[in-house]
Each structure stands twice: as structure tokens, then as C-alpha cells.
Structure 1
Amino acid sequence: MILIPPPFSFSEEHEENPDDLPPPPYQFADSTPASQLVKDTADVTEDGRIRVDLDSKLARALSRFIPDPPDFSSWMPEAPKTVPWSVKLNIVVQVVGSRGDVQPFIALGNELQKHGHRVRIATHDTFQDFVTKHGLEFYPIGGNPEELMAYMVKNPGLIPSMKSLRGGEIQRKRAMIAEMLDGCWHSCVEPDPQSGSPFVADAIIANPPSFAHIHCAQALGIPVHLMFTMPWSNTRAFPHPLANLKNSGKDPTTANYVSYSIVEWMTWQGLGDVINEWRNSIDLEPISALDGPNLANICGFFFRDPPNYTPPPDLDAFLRAGPPPIYIGFGSIVIDDPQKMSSLLLEAVRNCGVRAIISRGWSKLGGPELENVFYLDDCPHEWLFQHVAAVLHHGGAGTTACGLLNGRPTTIIPFFGDQPFWGDMVAVAGAGPKPIPHKNLTVENLSEAISFCLSPQASLAAKEISIKMSTETGVRTAVSSFHAHLPLENLTCDIFPNQPAAWAYNRKKKHLKLSKVAAELLSEHMKVDIRKLSVYEPNPVIIETHYYDPVSSTTSAFVATQVNMVEATAGIFYQPYKEYKAGQARSEQRAATLSAANSFSDSQSIRSSQTFKDNGEGPSRSRSPEKGKEKEKSTGGAMALASAKSLGDFYVKTFKGMVVDIPYACAEGLRNVPALYGDEVKSHGNVTDWKSGAVVGGKRFVHGMGEGLTDIFVQPYKGAKEEGALGAAKGFGKGTVALATKTTSALLGLVAYPGQGICKSIRTAVKSKTRHAIMRARHVEGQYLLRVANENRIDHARVLADFDTLMRRE
């Protein structure tokens, strides 16, 4: 048996701690073995998925370093419980993709609003009307989804074509990603573009392709929840939708499981530098290539409620004029040759003798006026699919879900991404034929697919799926899961229990959590000094580099140090050159401006030239030697300063690498050695500043020295109790290794951990632009919310009394 999502009420959700994550409600589909599904998908080569060779050196190497995420295959959900939620949050929902990607989050946003939350959808500019007409706030993050869809059709996989490389499309897409990352950050802290009302996010919901989610959450210290329209959490039931497996061997379930991590790893290799450069712009440290892909897992599914819709007269007349038509449409897909595709579709419709509704979509499909064909511009699928006999489309998750929810047999013509995966799922369930990749589409195989969809067995299979799906409460389940995973105790203000805490007030051993309104009100009455409040983080996100063994850890730190040193050395010569070129450009610009000004004044000069001659003088526009020297000195000074900065950067990076980074990596690698032979490695906390660095260094020294010196006796004793003489021999080996590794790690840690903490404290002090921006944004929103609260006659006296009570409490 295989497990598939129920299947088709699509959005997947995630809370930052994957160990507590409730996964998608999988159901048994049929008796088809998982190995058969692997076999079926492994032959597809041009659908945008990654061919993963499990016997390759890369896969074997990655399997050693990629940590095992939780396996959700056997999890079965409980019925969602709707519980009142008291804390009213500012929630930003970040979505990158097509209309089908945005639509489920509109359903989610409307459901969140019922609980009193303020919801902002942050997505591409083109979806502004789509979002706002559903009563949700909108924030534009940039990016052109139509251009992105066209690119994906040309380059369905992660590896772009040579034509795209030569055409510069890759750089444009990377620039688009950088633009959207920046837009996602601003969506967390900027006022509403329409009303101007201040907004600072208290929680983030996002789909994985937005990429900014967990990094924005780290900068703000707030919860993040990921949701998506395809399986994204490791499962043994089937491979990642973007992976084609090769050499999966006798255990395809393990291959399925590993494929998710490998796809994530490969995606990070293409975008990691862009993300790290953006992280630096918001004062976050870079993430290593091994840690970047393992920051999140996702699960969960839901629908939006059917919209109120009245069809236009021509569509209504067409539906009434004959038997139910089939639906054909490719939504947001941008096809290279729409005219050719339109002709193919019309020919297949004629061959089958059916009526059809053809959605024009972003490709602007069309053709001659025919009695049995209706060309559709825009119509909600939730309404339309109740009136058709079958649906044929690209396999977007939302369209697939909607068709099957209405019990309509489905043919999927995939272009890229997860679309072949949904095509396989539909075929396995018997609700449609095997997917037909768009490049292989012909009149003949499309005609066969239409005939299959109109067969009684396909109709019966689709209706069975519809019955299962109609029992789901996806949106309410998503909201309940979101609420269940929020750190409620950490979120709540101590003065206003229904408001999220934004500020930390620490005085006389008292620690209070204050909302934006509470802080402004108390400041107004001179109970607290707003300038001395610190940013409160209800859900700190700590991303630490993981070190798996002493050899790779020390080597990677050494190489990174060498690279930093080389870059800094190059900067000693390159940065002055940049300043020189910049100075030349400024000089040329000044010269051009002066030339234009002189040309303009020439007519005036001619009229006064005789006067100058009479006085023995002449007009002169040449710059004085003093000014020339001043400009040369200015450029020379900038060049010298740039060289000095690079030299200083060289010394700083060299010192940090040799004294802190390499010893730290070695200490962590040695500390992790017991994990290599299956023993538990104790955690003594994270290093976030100089205080925590000193604490962690002290703890690890005490425990490391103690365990290293005693394991030589304890491990043989434990081994003898479990396995006799053989166990004692193994224990002696473990004890010997522990004596060398744990004691060395403890000694190195005395310097490495405090050093790492000092570096983090210095970086926090220097890189404070983002933190100050967050403080200003929260302060502005607090003033705005206090004005609104005063209009509602908030009881100031009660608030002040509650504050005094809390300050007196032991």
C-alpha cells in the first residue's frame, strides 16, 4: 500500500519546530506498491523534476550529512477543534507563484480574520485586486509571475538550458529573487501602502518559494508557519514531487525519504549566495551550504469556500445549450506557441465529438468561433467545475484539487514542477489517464485521454475521491494547527492578554512583556522610558552551523578563513581601483555638466568679449590649479581609505578565523564524534552573545573533561553488561576515543565558545540598523494603536494600576 495526501485540498503548513509538526492527513490510496510508483516516475526526464541517482557519490555523501527529518508517513490526523483564540496578531502571509498558489492563502486569510487577526497578503503586484476584493490587506513584493511561468516552461528543471544561460535569463531570475526577498522583508515592517496604517508582523505564514520566511522570522524573533500546495516534508511513501529516482535498489522507501533532502540541497546551491547576500542587508549572519537546505519542513491541506458567482449570459447560454462540456485550460502557464496548441486542442475536441470550454489563460488560447466550443476569459473553478463532465489542465495543485472535489475525471498535461506528481497521483487513483507531458502532446493521445475521462470507471473513481475530500475541513484544520503551534505564553502581553507582546521591560529584577499599546500608554504616563525598552522576541530563531566530525568541520572552517583572507587581500588593490574609476566617472560627469553650461552661456560671452579686450582681460573657463589638486587629493584620499579598510578587514578576518572560527569548528566537530558511533551528544545551549559563550564554554569544559576522563572506565563496563566480552572491547574503543576527543574539545572550547560569543556581541552592536528599524516601526504602530484605543475610551487608570500591581508582585 502507498499513502497519498487526501489528496487534493492543497496547502501545506509548517511550524518552525519540525519535531512537533502535525503532517498532512495521508490516506491509503490502493494496493499499488511504492516501488511501482518509483518505477513509473523514474522514466520522466523533461518534466522539471530532478533525476536523483541514489548510488552516486553526491547522494551517498549527502546522506551522511543531511539530518533525518521526522517521518510523517504513518501519522493520522484528529478532527480539527475550533477553539477561541484570544491574542489578536498581525499576520503577514508571503506567497510567491501563480494565481493558483495565491488562492488557497486567501481562504486561509479570511479564516484567520474570523479569529480577530489582521492579515496581510504579501505577493506579486499583479494579484492586488484579487487579494483586496476578498477583504484582505495587500503588500507588493515585486517579481513578475508571468515572466517566471514563461521561464519555467522553457527550463522546467533546476538546471537551466544553455539558451537561457546565453540569454542572461538566469541573472534576471536571480535579480527577481533578490527583489522579492527584499519585498518580503518590507512586508513585515512597512505601513499599508493604501491606508498608510502602520504594521509590524507578529507572525509569518509563507509558502517555501518565497524563501524569505524563516529569515524574516529570525530578524524579528517571531513564529513562522510554512504552507504549500505540494508535499514538502520527508515521507517514505513517495518521492519528492520534483525528484526522479534512479538506482533506488530494493528499498525504494528510503530513496523516497532521502529525495526530499537532496532536492532542498540542490535548490540551496542555486540560491544560497543570493539569500546570504540579502541576509547581510538585514544584519543576519550567512548560513552554510549544509545548514541552509534543512531549515524547514511542511505539511497540511485546505480549500477556500466557493465564491458567490453569477455567470455572464453567453457562458450561461452555452452551458444550457447541450450536454456538459469538458474543460481545457492551462491557467498561469505561458506557452511558447499558443496558436499551435489551440489548433491541437480543437482538433482533439472535434475527433471526440464533445463540447468544450477552453480557458484562454495567460497564453491567450483561442480559435475560430465554433458552436461546440466556448472560449473563457475568467471564471472561478469552484463554480465552473460543477457544470463540466471532465477537466484537462496543466496539473496545478489548486486546479487538480478543485476538479476532484467536484468528482470530475482529470487529464493532466504537465509542464514543470509538481505537475507530473499530481498527474501520477490521479492516474494511480484511476480518476484519469497517465499524465501526458506537454512536449509529447498530440491530437491522438489527447483524444484518447478525453475518451478515458468520459468512461464510467474514471467517473466512478473521481466520485470516490470527491466523497473522501468533502469530509475534510482543510482551512479550519490549518488555522487550528497554526494556533496550536504558536507559543501562546510567550506571545501574550502582561497588561493586555489579548494583545501580542512587542517590548521587554526589565527593571529591579522585574521582567514584563508589553504590547505596543501598553508601552506607549505607560510611556505617556511616565511609568516607563520607551527608549530603554528592548525588542521582545516571543519566538527566537537561532540558526547555528552544524559540525558533523572534526575533519570536515576543521577543514571547512580553514578553507572559509583562507577564502576570506584572499578576498580581503584582493580588496587592498581592487577597492582603490574602484574608487579611482568612481572618481573618473564623477570627473567626466562634472565636465559634461560644465560643458553644457558653457555652451548655454556662449552667446552672452560673445556680447561682452570686446569689453574684456579693452581691459586687457579675456573670459576664461579653465579650472584653477588649486581646484584640480583638490579633486585629485579627494580621489587619492578615497583610494587610500579604501585600501586601509581592506587591510583592516584582512587583519580582522584572519584573526577571527585563526583564533575563533577554526578552534570553534574543531571543538564542535570533536564534541560530535560520539554521534558517529550512535551515542548521544549533550547540548549545553546556543552561543548568542558573550555571556552565553562564557556559560557554554564553562559547561562544556566541565562535562567534556569529566566524561573524557571517566569514559575509559564507564564505556567498557556498559558494553560488558550489554554484549559481554565483545561489548567490553567496543566500550574500550569508545572510551579511548572519548578520552582524546572530549578532553580536547573541552580545552579548545574554553577559548572558542567565549570567543564566538564575543564576536556575536560585537556584530550585534555594529550591525544594529535592522534592530533600530524594527524598534521605530513598533513605536510608530504603538502610537497609532493607542490613538485608536483612546477613541474607544480605554481605561488608563486600570492599566496603570495593573502595571503597579505587577511591579510589586514577588
Structure 2
Amino acid sequence: MGKRSLPRSPLPEPKSIFLMKIVIFTIGTQGDARPFVALGRRLSALGHDIHIVTSARHRPLIVGGGLNLIPIESDFADLMAKEHAAMDNGNQLRIGRQMARALCDWMPLWVKQALAATEGAELVIGSGSATALGASIAEKRNIPFVQAQFMPMTPSRHIPPLWPNPNLPLPGIANLLLTHLARFLIWQLMSAPVSIMRRDLDLAPIGWRGPWSRRSKHTRNQYLLYAFSRHLQPQPDDWPSDRIAVTGSWFYDQTEEWTPPPALTQFLEAGSKPLYIGFGSMMCGNPEAFTRMILDAVRQTGRRAIIATGWGALRALRGQKDDSLFFIENAPHDWLFPRVAMAVHHGGAGTVAAASRVGLPQVIIPFLADQFYWSWRLNTIGITPMILNRRRLTAEKLAHAINKACARSVSEKARLLAPLIEDEEGIGRAIAALTHWGLLKPPIPAEPAV
């Protein structure tokens, strides 16, 4: 399929009559919401009424994309700060308990807000922490529900589990069993807020085996869109193709809408292509030590670097004075990544996709969840030279990984991957899957010209 992309012209004028009202639930960081703006814009251009239920923190992103925002109450940033402090102490159970307690507090209000948001809806899409909420609301309203996820979660003999360690080579049956076990353990932590939600919706409770049990009716015949590239992770043959589709990534490009600060342009023009270093919303218990380690590693490589501080782990880098470094709050990846030589990041699905799309070698320092999986997967493919452990990472090890990523073999593999991902048309494939499953009304044919 040839390269196609959304026109950068404004979206069509709002219509008085829409084909369908579609409500998308996504709760988390901007990286969690961003792909749904891309999907929502394309669906809106087809004549659908799109509403994204997420934190009000993402209002500029959602409204700036021409879509409807329905705020849902949560302080996800504060929750993530607590989670990462617990994570640095190695207590994954504590992280899960903190999340469950927060969800229990938020759930009664979420139910009310979600019911109001889905009034008149004909399709619900849910992702991440909002999956259970979206599924239950759709069940209550007796309308279809589709999961959209950015990491492989369906058990397969061919995909290692995220837990305990995707780097371990295991036989296929062990991959299956460990993934099922991980799901069961997650359910033991998350069953309390889900039970509150379903009680408030007057829905039957989910049994102790969890919603993924084969005996459970809650996931039977449920549809699932995986928004990652099949060139990074192919769809295994033991996933049911009639209900699961690996579509490719959903990119929301802002190159033509974003104006870089003059100082950034001057820095880029002043020398060789720099490294990109950024960790999105990730936080750690000791940001000062992490910051010093990152800075020391960059200096050891002798390379220039653009460092995106965001509101996470690298915020403490601000104020450093060095002509070889440029600090920026953030910049659209689709604008910045073609102008850098390599990406050093946390391994979030969105950053992995954006860097792979333009052929960048990558050095990944994973913090949690699917980031360990993508670190392993990109190492297997050959565009990440080493699997790094953040707890045992030193400036010397990071500098060594960066230098290894500059090798011609790594750069060539990354370069060859870029056009495959660029031409994948993830959003188009997602819409084709929804249409094939009978969940989208087809566009109204244009009237023939007289």
C-alpha cells in the first residue's frame, strides 16, 4: 500500500447529523491520549461524532485536534509520582495496591461521568486503565465495545509475558501459563474497584477467575485493536484473527502546526545531528542521581544532545549550562525525530513507534510495564543494541550503549524498518477492522454531480 496521510487542512465543519456517536475512554498520560486524537480525527472526517473521555489535563491536545473532550476526574500525575517512588523501592505489589485504592476512590464519580458521556453512543472504545470502565459502560448500555491497546496482552505461545521478565527464553507453554498467571494476579489487585463500578452500574459481578477466564462472558467475542506495528511485533497465529487486529501505530502529526523556538533551530544547525534524550512522564525516587548519571553519560560520548525535560524524571536537568546540550520542555516527535541521530528514552509504545518510523537507533531505559517488553523486542530486532537495567545502570554503561547504537549495523537495521512502518497505515487498518467487524456505519455516498 502506498503512503497516505491525513490532510493537514482543518477538519470538516461540524455536521448536524452524524453517522454514529463514538466515545473513547483513555486515562493516563498524554502519550496514552495522543493516538486516540489521531484515530478520532480520521473517524470524525468520515462523519462520526467523537468524544474522548480523559483527564482535563489533556484539553489542549483533544480540543486542538478538533475533537470533543469529556473530562473525567482523576489526579493521574500525582498517582504516577507515588507509583514511581514505590517502584524505585522494588515494591511492585505496593504500586498495584496504590492504583487499586485510587481507583476505588474515583470509581463512583467515574461511573456517573461515564454514563453521562455515553448518552446516545453507539460504540465505546477503551484502553489501558479505562478498559474495564469502557467495557462495563458498554455492557450497561448494550452497545459494542472495542479494546485498543499498545502492547501485546493476549496470551500467546510466541510472545513472552511482561512478567516476570520478557528477556527470559521460555518454551511456548510457559509463555501461555505465565501470561495467564499475570492476568490472574492483576485481577486480584483490581477486582475491588471493578466490583464497585459494576455494583454502581447494577451489573452482575465478575467471578474470582477474572474477566479473562474462558468461563467469563465479559470478554467472550470482545474485539481488540492492537495499535503497534506488525514489523515490531507480528500478530501470532494463535490469536483469533476474527476478533483481534494488529493495525500499526496511530500517529498524530503536528509538524505543520508546531513552530520550534528559534534557539532550538539554531542548536540543530550549529553542528552534527544530536542525540534525543527524554523519558516522557516517567518519574523516579531519586531524580537528582538519575539526572547526574544521564548527564555524565552524554559527556562521556562527546556528543551533542537535546534533552526533553517534560514533567518527569529529567526536570532537574534544567538550568545546566553546556553548549553541547539543549533543554526543551517537549516537542512533537514527528517534527524533532527526523532531525536527531538517535533516541534515548523509556521505551513507551508511542516513543518506540515514533523513533522507529524515522529509522532511529534507540537506547531504552525501561521504568515499568510494557517498556521492558519493547526493550526486549527492539533488541531482538536489532535496533536497540543492549538491554539495560535502570537499577544497575551507570554513566559508563549508558555511554557504552549509546556508542554501540551508533554502529553501522544498528543504524542500517533501523533505517530499513522506517519505510515499512511509515507505509503501514495503522489508522486506516483500524477503521477497516472496525468496518469488517460490523461496528462502524459506512460513510454516506456523495450525491452524483448533476
Normalising by structure 2, we get a TM-score of 0.81
Q: Distance in 2 between matches of 1:414 and 1:96?
A: 21
Q: Do the aligned residues in 1 keep the contact of 2:97 with 2:189 (CA within 8 Å)?
A: no
Is 1:203 aligned with 2:123? yes
The superposition leaves residues 369-422 of structure 1 with CA deviations (integer Å, 9 ceiling, x where unpaired) of 110000111210111001000000010000011111110000000011011110
Look up the match of 1:97.
Answer: 28
- Please give the residue correspondences for 1:353-368 in structure 2 after superposition, counting only pairs within 5 Å: 353-363=302-312, 364-366=315-317, 367-368=319-320
Is 1:388 aligned with 2:340? yes
Q: Do the aligned residues in 1 keep the contact of 2:84 with 2:282 (CA within 8 Å)?
A: yes
For 2:186, which of 267, 273, 278 is the aligned residue? Answer: 267
Q: Distance in 1 between matches of 2:133 and 2:66?
A: 25
For 1:442, which of 385, 389, 394 is the aligned residue? Answer: 394
For the residue of structure 2 that corresponds to 1:244, the secondary structure is coil
Q: Give the drift of 1:263.
A: 1.8
Q: Distance in 1 between matches of 2:101 and 2:150?
A: 25
**1:260 counterpart letter in structure 2:** T
For 2:368, which of 410, 416, 420 is the aligned residue? Answer: 416
For 1:320, which of 236, 252, 269 is the aligned residue? Answer: 269
Look up the match of 1:123.
Answer: 54
Look up the match of 1:107.
Answer: 38
**1:306 counterpart letter in structure 2:** D
Q: Do the aligned residues in 1 keep the contact of 2:166 with 2:373 (CA within 8 Å)?
A: no
Where structure 1 has 5 or more consecutive residues not aligned to the other structure, the ranges are: 1-85, 192-197, 499-810
Q: Distance in 2 between matches of 1:208 and 1:262?
A: 19
Q: Give the drift of 1:259.
A: 2.9
- Cα distance, 1:292–1:344 mapped onto 2, change above 3 Å: same
Is 1:400 aligned with 2:321? no
The superposition leaves residues 478-529 of structure 1 with CA deviations (integer Å, 9 ceiling, x where unpaired) of 11212222357xx89xxxx97xxxxxxxxxxxxxxxxxxxxxxxxxxxxxxx
Is 1:254 aligned with 2:173? yes
The superposition leaves residues 714-768 of structure 1 with CA deviations (integer Å, 9 ceiling, x where unpaired) of xxxxxxxxxxxxxxxxxxxxxxxxxxxxxxxxxxxxxxxxxxxxxxxxxxxxxxx
The superposition leaves residues 778-800 of structure 1 with CA deviations (integer Å, 9 ceiling, x where unpaired) of xxxxxxxxxxxxxxxxxxxxxxx
Is 1:233 aligned with 2:154? yes
292-301 vs 369-378, which deviates more? Answer: 292-301
Q: Do the aligned residues in 2 keep the contact of 1:141 with 1:182 (CA within 8 Å)?
A: no
Where structure 2 has 5 or more consecutive residues not aligned to the other structure, the ranges are: 1-16, 227-245, 445-450
Aligned residues: 393
For the residue of structure 1 that corresponds to 2:276, the secondary structure is strand
- Give percent identity, aligned residues only: 28
Look up the match of 1:281.
Answer: 200
Q: Do the aligned residues in 2 keep the contact of 1:357 with 1:374 (CA within 8 Å)?
A: yes
285-294 vs 128-137, which deviates more? Answer: 285-294
- Please give the residue correspondences for 1:614-653 in structure 2 after superposition, counting only pairs within 5 Å: none
Q: Give the drift of 1:452.
A: 1.1
Is 1:456 aligned with 2:382? no
**1:124 counterpart letter in structure 2:** S
Q: Distance in 1 between matches of 2:369 and 2:334?
A: 23
Q: Give the drift of 1:182.
A: 4.1
Q: Distance in 1 between matches of 2:370 and 2:166?
A: 15
Look up the match of 2:234.
Answer: none
Q: Distance in 2 between matches of 1:457 and 1:273?
A: 49
Q: Give the drift of 1:243.
A: 4.0
Look up the match of 1:338.
Answer: 287
Q: Rg larger in 1 or in 2?
A: 1
Q: Distance in 2 between matches of 1:233 and 1:171?
A: 23
Q: Distance in 1 between matches of 2:386 and 2:158?
A: 19
For the residue of structure 2 that corresponds to 1:285, the secondary structure is coil
Q: Do the aligned residues in 1 keep the contact of 2:18 with 2:49 (CA within 8 Å)?
A: no
**1:462 counterpart letter in structure 2:** A
For the residue of structure 1 that corresponds to 2:47, the secondary structure is coil
Q: Distance in 1 between matches of 2:102 and 2:300?
A: 43
Look up the match of 1:185.
Answer: 111
For the residue of structure 2 that corresponds to 1:292, the secondary structure is coil
Q: Do the aligned residues in 1 keep the contact of 2:133 with 2:197 (CA within 8 Å)?
A: no
- Cα distance, 1:344–1:247 mapped onto 2, change above 3 Å: closer
Q: Do the aligned residues in 1 keep the contact of 2:20 with 2:49 (CA within 8 Å)?
A: yes
For the residue of structure 1 that corresponds to 2:212, the secondary structure is helix
- Please give the residue correspondences for 1:448-597 in structure 2 after superposition, counting only pairs within 5 Å: 448-486=400-438
Q: Do the aligned residues in 2 keep the contact of 1:333 with 1:361 (CA within 8 Å)?
A: no
- Cα distance, 1:265–1:147 mapped onto 2, change above 3 Å: same
Q: Distance in 1 between matches of 2:113 and 2:249?
A: 24
Q: Give the drift of 1:185.
A: 3.5
Q: Do the aligned residues in 2 keep the contact of 1:152 with 1:416 (CA within 8 Å)?
A: no
For the residue of structure 2 that corresponds to 1:207, the secondary structure is strand
Q: Distance in 1 between matches of 2:324 and 2:194?
A: 51
The superposition leaves residues 415-449 of structure 1 with CA deviations (integer Å, 9 ceiling, x where unpaired) of 11011110111111111222212212211101101
Q: Give the drift of 1:156.
A: 4.4
Q: Give the drift of 1:277.
A: 2.1
Look up the match of 1:133.
Answer: 64
Q: Do the aligned residues in 2 keep the contact of 1:143 with 1:179 (CA within 8 Å)?
A: no
Q: Do the aligned residues in 2 keep the contact of 1:355 with 1:373 (CA within 8 Å)?
A: yes
Q: Do the aligned residues in 2 keep the contact of 1:92 with 1:205 (CA within 8 Å)?
A: yes
Look up the match of 1:173.
Answer: 99
Q: Give the drift of 1:268.
A: 0.9
The superposition leaves residues 526-559 of structure 1 with CA deviations (integer Å, 9 ceiling, x where unpaired) of xxxxxxxxxxxxxxxxxxxxxxxxxxxxxxxxxx
Q: Do the aligned residues in 1 keep the contact of 2:55 with 2:74 (CA within 8 Å)?
A: yes
Q: Do the aligned residues in 1 keep the contact of 2:96 with 2:189 (CA within 8 Å)?
A: no
Q: Runs in 1 of length 4+ with deviation above 6 angstroms?
A: 245-249
For the residue of structure 2 that corresponds to 1:293, the secondary structure is coil
- Cα distance, 1:189–1:156 mapped onto 2, change above 3 Å: same
Look up the match of 2:251.
Answer: 304
Is 1:426 aligned with 2:378? yes
Q: Distance in 2 between matches of 1:146 and 1:246?
A: 30
Q: Give the drift of 1:180.
A: 4.7
The superposition leaves residues 603-642 of structure 1 with CA deviations (integer Å, 9 ceiling, x where unpaired) of xxxxxxxxxxxxxxxxxxxxxxxxxxxxxxxxxxxxxxxx
**1:304 counterpart letter in structure 2:** F
Q: Do the aligned residues in 2 keep the contact of 1:276 with 1:286 (CA within 8 Å)?
A: yes
Q: Give the drift of 1:247.
A: 10
Normalising by structure 1, we get a TM-score of 0.46
Task: Compare the two structures and name the one with the higher helix fraction.
Answer: 1
